[in-house]
């Protein structure tokens, strides 16, 4: 290995990735496994996680766990299982997310509560449970996946509940970093722009909205999922050892306009 690969080597470490059954989450699990980590891939769709774990690429490094991050008991049980089996949590990637109706007129209280439970309460509880072990160990990295909607409006798409939840994730990231920095635990937010994922299928299936994304992005295209690999590995590894409380935006220039 050279100096750079030493910094991003996760051999012997344990990572947890939520929302790992599709899209960014499944890719994140693969990237961390490729870097040498034992990865607990968590989501509600266990069949998809098992298929991910069976992939020759991951060489048995991914362990599937059924988990609904909207359920506080599931959040606690996930971290407890990881600690029981490996004795450590080195990296937590809070990636699971959900969206609601785009128009506030169509968004109900139930919609808001569901989005907040998945996008905010779940990451808070997982960070709380994992952070306790990380603080005791004196090290650890938490990566909270937010959104450009935490920083700017993307009306007419997005949704008030979704934007509010992701804005809160950025604020939570900053506060956790402030509280846990003295224990050697780093907390940062990864903020993707428009990427072709299952959640955004409808956006890119519509020719008008797809052109809108291209036109409004400096690089004139949406991102490919692999273009987040470097940012995730940077935040999750020792390559970012002096970085905490920060928001890393990977959006093709969308928010810089």
Cα 8 to Cα 169: distance, rounded to the nearest angstrom: 25
- CA pair distance 81, 40, nearest whole angstrom: 10
Question: CB of 135 within 8 A of CB of 180?
Answer: yes
Catalytic residue among 28, 40, 124, 162: 162
Question: What's the CA dihedral at 44, 50, 52, 54 to 10 degrees?
Answer: 170
162 in catalytic set: yes
Contacts of 132 (CB under 8 A, 6+ apart): none
* Integer Cα distance of 92 and 78 in angstroms: 11
Instruction: Kindly report each contact of residues 206-209 with a partner whose C-beta sits within 8 Å and lies 24 or more positions away, as own/partner.
Output: 209/157
Q: Which two tokens stand for residue 252?
A: 């093709």
Q: What amino acid positions are annotated as catalytic residues?
A: 162
């Amino acid at each position: 290995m050279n100096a750079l690969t030493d910094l991003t080597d996760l051999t012997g470490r344990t990572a947890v990735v939520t929302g790992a059954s599709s899209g960014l989450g499944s890719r994140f699990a693969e990237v961390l496994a490729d870097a040498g980590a034992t990865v607990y891939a968590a989501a509600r769709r266990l069949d998809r996680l098992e298929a991910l774990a069976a992939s020759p690429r991951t060489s048995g490094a991914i362990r599937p766990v059924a988990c609904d991050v909207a359920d506080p008991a599931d959040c606690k049980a996930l971290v407890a299982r990881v600690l029981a089996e490996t004795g450590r949590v080195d990296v937590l990637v809070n990636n699971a997310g959900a969206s609601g109706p785009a128009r506030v007129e169509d968004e109900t209280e139930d919609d808001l509560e569901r989005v907040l439970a998945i996008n905010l309460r779940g990451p808070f509880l997982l960070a709380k449970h994992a952070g306790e072990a990380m603080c005791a160990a004196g090290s650890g990295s938490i990566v909270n996946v937010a959104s450009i909607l935490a920083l700017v409006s993307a009306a007419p798409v997005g949704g008030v509940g979704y934007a509010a939840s992701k804005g809160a994730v950025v604020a939570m990231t900053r506060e956790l970093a402030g509280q846990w920095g003295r224990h050697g635990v780093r907390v940062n937010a990864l903020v993707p722009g428009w990427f072709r994922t299952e959640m955004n299928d409808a956006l890119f299936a519509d020719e008008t909205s797809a052109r809108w994304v291209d036109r409004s992005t400096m690089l004139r295209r949406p991102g490919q999922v692999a273009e987040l690999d470097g940012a995730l590995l940077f935040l999750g590894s020792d390559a970012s050892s002096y970085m905490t409380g920060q928001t890393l935006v990977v959006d093709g220039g969308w928010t810089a306009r």
